[in-house]
């Protein structure tokens, strides 16, 4: 995983915040090994709903879902063989970038020894919520690059982790 400093994600907390029963905000919180809580900015609401569904925290026919399937639904419904093939090839996810517009990105690392793929190794860049969903679906490890935490701390002062913890300015 290189020489950069990575912190492992201990817990992923998907949440739908409601007012008067109506969904108003979708949140995805990462609790890191050092106790820092890092909120994924503007997570894909379909990823949040799929994570809650996977955990049995909301009904499969969640009222706010659309009348169509999302890629998250399809991945969770795939046959055991298809899920096993994809799950066995995903090794881990690293949240490795955040930009000034609060886009958070990750790289999913795949390495397959399956004869159909002839040992292809791949790094696929995607939005953080999609990568987190894949890692959670297949019980894979998630890491956050410390540089992302530093940049996040500079963009969001007052989060409780700053220079004294080695982050921010």
Tell me if 55 is assigned to some domain. yes
Task: For residue 113, give its domain range.
Answer: 6-165
Rounded Cα–Cα distance for residues 38 and 159 (Å):
9
Q: Is residue 1 part of a domain?
A: no
The total domain count for the chain is 1
- From the CB of residue 4, how many other CB atoms can be counted at a distance below 10 Å? 11
The CATH number covering residue 52 comes to 3.10.690.10
Would you say residue 61 lies in a domain? yes
Query: What are 19-35's pLDDT values in tens digits?
Result: 887 778 899 999 999 99
The per-residue pLDDT for 131 is: 94
pLDDT of amino acid 126: 93
Residue 39 lies in a domain: yes
- Nearest-Å Rg of the Cα atoms of the chain is 17
Token pair recorded at residue 162: 């700053």
pLDDT, position 2: 58
Q: pTM, whole model, 2 decimals? A: 0.81
How far is it, in rounded angstroms, from Cα 50 to Cα 82?
Answer: 18
* 10-residue averages of pLDDT along the chain (169 residues): 84 90 87 93 90 80 60 76 78 93 89 64 89 93 94 77 57
103 within domain boundaries: yes
In a domain, 108, yes or no: yes
What was the pLDDT predicted at 120?
A: 67
Q: What is the DSSP pairing of strand 22-32 with strand 6-19?
A: antiparallel
- pLDDT on residue 82: 75
- Within a domain: residue 96? yes
How far are the Cα atoms of 55, 67, 130, 134, 138 from residue 124, in angstroms, in the given order?
25, 29, 11, 12, 16
- In a domain, residue 28? The reply is yes
Q: What is the Cα–Cα distance from 164 to 162, expressed in whole angstroms?
A: 6
């Amino acid at each position: 995983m290189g020489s950069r400093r990575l912190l492992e994600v201990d817990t992923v907390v998907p949440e739908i915040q409601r007012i008067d029963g109506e969904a108003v905000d979708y949140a995805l919180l990462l609790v890191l090994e050092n106790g820092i809580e890092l909120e994924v900015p503007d997570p894909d609401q379909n990823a949040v709903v799929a994570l809650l569904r996977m955990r049995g925290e909301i009904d499969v026919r969640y009222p706010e879902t659309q009348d169509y399937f999302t890629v998250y639904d399809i991945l969770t419904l795939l046959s055991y063989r298809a899920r096993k093939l994809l799950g066995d090839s995903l090794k881990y996810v690293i949240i490795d970038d955040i930009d000034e517009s609060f886009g958070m990105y990750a790289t999913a690392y795949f390495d397959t020894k399956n004869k159909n793929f002839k040992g292809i190794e791949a790094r696929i860049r995607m939005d953080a919520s999609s990568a987190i969903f894949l890692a959670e679906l297949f019980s894979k490890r998630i890491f956050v690059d410390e540089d992302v935490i530093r940049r996040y701390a500079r963009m969001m002062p007052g989060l409780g982790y700053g220079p004294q913890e080695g982050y921010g300015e």
